[in-house]
């Protein structure tokens, strides 16, 4: 049986960013998911790192499930050639459906939307609404300022250090897969224990 989650949600930029390494990581992640038979769940856009991830997964023969709100479909150019494109009414519906369809979450570099999605899924885990693995992909040090902020929040007494361990930091695409490998078993055991 696969030691990987069945479906992984990738949060990432609707832009490509200034470092070519971020697009390369998105491409390697998309292809790597497909190569392992893992479904990709993402925001359904045809722009930036979102497109790079989805296109790589499709090209490698993977299943790609996009979830996009009606109003954003035009702006983010809803990706018409993915396996399934769910067009929903609102941003809240989008994020909830993406979470429901996924067994684990990976955040690549991205902007405000990626931050929002990452912290929503992290706070849902903190509140025990789910126990699915979350991986922050700190490619080329992109998320280091955020990690520094989180450390400062712990030092200031606003964040429980135990809650930071609800998210694994990966420094490369290989690290992402290492973090995902076996995580399906671990979260199933955790869920069984609850």
Residue length of the chain = 194
Among the residue ranges 7-15, 127-135, 137-145, 168-176, the one whose residues contact ligand AMP (CB under 6 A)? 7-15
Cβ closer to ligand AMP: 111 or 187? 111
Q: Please report whether residue 111 would count as binding ligand AMP according to CB under 6 A.
A: yes
Q: Could you tell me if residue 143 is left (phi over 0), alpha (psi between -120 and 50 degrees) or otherwise beta?
A: alpha
Among the residue ranges 78-86, 113-121, 155-163, 168-176, the one whose residues contact ligand AMP (CB under 6 A)? 113-121
Of 18, 74, 112, 128, which one interacts with ligand AMP (CB under 6 A)? 112
Of 23, 114, 118, 168, which one interacts with ligand AMP (CB under 6 A)? 114
CA dist 175 → 73, 163, 180, 189 (Å): 32, 21, 9, 22
Which residues in the 8-67 window bind ligand AMP by CB under 6 A?
13-15, 43, 45
Structure tokens at 76: 């983010």
Among the residue ranges 25-33, 109-117, 131-139, 172-180, the one whose residues contact ligand AMP (CB under 6 A)? 109-117
Cβ closer to ligand AMP: 14 or 102? 14
Structure tokens at 122: 């992290």
The DSSP-derived string for 14-60 is SS--S-HHHHHHHHHHHHHHHHTTPEEEE---SSHHHHHHHHHHHHT
């Amino acid at each position: 049986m696969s030691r990987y989650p069945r479906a992984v949600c990738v949060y990432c930029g609707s832009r490509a960013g200034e470092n070519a390494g971020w697009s390369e990581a998105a491409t390697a992640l998309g292809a790597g998911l497909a190569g392992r038979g893992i479904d990709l769940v993402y925001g359904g856009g045809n722009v930036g790192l979102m497109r790079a991830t989805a296109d790589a997964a499709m090209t490698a023969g993977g299943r790609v499930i996009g979830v996009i709100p009606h109003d954003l479909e035009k702006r983010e150019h809803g990706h018409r050639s993915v396996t399934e494109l769910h067009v929903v009414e609102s941003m809240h519906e989008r994020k909830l459906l993406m979470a429901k369809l996924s067994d684990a979450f990976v955040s690549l570099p991205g902007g405000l939307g990626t931050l929002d999605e990452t912290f929503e899924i992290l706070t849902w885990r903190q509140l025990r609404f789910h126990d699915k693995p979350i991986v922050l992909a700190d490619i080329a040090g992109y998320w280091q300022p955020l990690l520094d902020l989180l450390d400062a929040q712990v030092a200031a007494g606003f964040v429980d250090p135990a809650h930071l361990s609800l998210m694994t930091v990966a420094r490369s695409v290989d690290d992402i897969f290492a973090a995902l490998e076996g995580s399906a078993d671990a979260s199933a055991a955790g869920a069984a224990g609850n």
